[in-house]
Structure 1
């Protein structure tokens, strides 16, 4: 294995460490933003375990792509170095980029989804109100006929005895 391949694989493992730091920071932010009764907060430990397993599988996939799956002793050190590099240098820029994406992309999309949902809900409410207004005289008529027949049956029943 040439020195350039080893250096490239070292950079790839540092990159997986940085990626793991970003993913775990994002997961921690999501868990902190959730309510105590939410599914994510209640199952945070198990979800974090699944995320770590998925990150391990992604790291091994990167090793397969870079070195045909050959594992070296410096790979875990490179990944931990990537995590520390994320905490020391990339934490604040990634947070700023995340806030910008949240404000510029995700919140407008969420607003549009909520607006469409509200419009559909109001349309169904309007249709239900119109149908209710149209059918209310018939429903009252049926109820009054039912009461009349019920009372008529009582009168006939009482006369026979």
Structure 2
């Protein structure tokens, strides 16, 4: 089977970025990339067309790099704190996965794809502080510090006092 050479017109996940020349299966090029306007067949006319747009493409790539650096600084600036149900010895009921981390980041307004988060051992199963690599753009990686706490730890005594006061108030109002 002979591969077909194409020039990407847009970023294509798991294949490449705009302006990249790639070898792909003929059916993939013919049935998916070209009809959807994601790529052009590699020939002299199309190479000249892409070369004329090379400056714009490089400018967009530079903007992506800048956004990636900003995201890296944001991820590394402060630890992500997660409260998870845990037993007395710090073993979690369940585990912290990439999906849990992505969901917590989304609550903070940070959008990252789940597959870009590389949780060590495919899941964190104990309370503690962990370093989680996050692939951002090209070869840039950020190290996200994840602080896993047991749910209700630290303020558990205060919460127990509040509930006992509330229940004693409820009992006294019922008795009257």
TM-score with structure 1 setting the length:
0.35
Higher RCO structure, 1 or 2 (CA under 8 Å, sep 6+): 1
Larger Rg: 1
Q: Greater helix percent: which structure? A: 1
